[in-house]
Amino acid sequence: MTAPQTSLTGSVQAVSVSETHSMSKPNQSSIRVLEGLGVEGDAHQGVTVKHRSRVRQNPTQPNLRQVHLIHVELLDELREKGLVVEPGQMGENVTTRGIDLLGLPLGAKLHIGSDVVVMVTGLRNPCAQLDDIQPNLMAAVIDKDEDGKPVFKAGVMSVAAEGGEVRPGDQITVELPTGTHVALQQV
C-alpha cells in the first residue's frame, strides 16, 4: 500500500468516557489517557480485551481497543443524511477534526496535545447497538467500495503508547510508520 493521502494535523473536538458498557459516552472537559491501559475510568480500559463479546471468546487476548476515535466529519455526513449524532454518542473517547482517520495505515501514531500518543490498531467494527441510538445508523456507517466490499466508517481503535491529559481544542499530529503501509482491518 502506498502512503495514504491524509492530513497530518487536526484537532480534538470532544472527549468522552463511560465507566459502563453503554454505547454513548458523556462528553468531558478532559480525559486522562493511561499508558498501556487506555482512558482512565472507561469500561474499555485495560491490558486485555474488555469488549464483552470478545471477552467471551478469549478474555486473555490483548486489548487493541483501548482508545476509540471518530472523525467529526462522519457526524457531519450523517447529519446530511438526516441522522443527528453528537460527539460521544457512538462510544468514542476522542472526536477529531481534520484527519482522515480511516485512511491511516496500521501503526500510525497520533500525538494528541502535549503528552498523549496513541497507536492506531484497526477499524472499529460497528455493531447493531448503533441502531438503538437511531434507526439505520449502523447501515449509515457502512459503505461499499467499487468492488462491493464493505467500508467501515465508524472510526478507528488504538492503544495508549504515552499517557496524559486530552482536552477539546488540543492539536493532533500524525506520525506515519516507516516502510510499507498496511491498510487498517477491523479489530
Burial of 90 (0-12, 13-18, 19+ CB in 10 A): buried
Confidence of residue 127 (pLDDT cuts 50, 70, 90): confident
Single pTM value for the model:
0.94
Q: How many domains does the chain have?
A: 1
180 in a domain, yes or no? no
Confidence of residue 7 (pLDDT cuts 50, 70, 90): low
136 in a domain, yes or no? yes
Mean pLDDT, range 167-179, rounded to an integer: 97
Beta strands of 25-154 (E only): which ranges?
27-28, 31-34, 38-39, 67-71, 94-97, 109-112, 116-123, 142-144, 150-152
Query: Does the pLDDT of residue 70 top 50, yes or no?
Result: yes
2 in a domain, yes or no? no
184 in a domain, yes or no? no
123 in a domain, yes or no? yes
Residues 80 and 85: their CA atoms lie apart, in Å, by: 11
Mean pLDDT, range 164-184, rounded to an integer: 97
Query: Does the pLDDT of residue 67 top 70, yes or no?
Result: yes
Question: Whole domain around residue 161: which residue ranges?
Answer: 9-175
Mean pLDDT (the chain) is 94
Please report, for the domain that includes residue 19, its CATH number.
Answer: 2.40.33.20
187 in a domain, yes or no? no
The 10s digit of each residue's pLDDT in 128-170 is 899 999 999 999 999 999 999 999 999 999 999 999 999 999 9
85 in a domain, yes or no? yes
Q: Minimal CA–CA distance to 16: which of 100, 121, 91?
A: 91
Mean pLDDT, range 3-27, rounded to an integer: 87
Query: Does the pLDDT of residue 2 top 50, yes or no?
Result: no
The 10s digit of each residue's pLDDT in 93-113 is 999 999 999 999 999 999 999
Go through the chain and tell me how many residues it has: 187
1 in a domain, yes or no? no
Residues 96 and 44: their CA atoms lie apart, in Å, by: 19
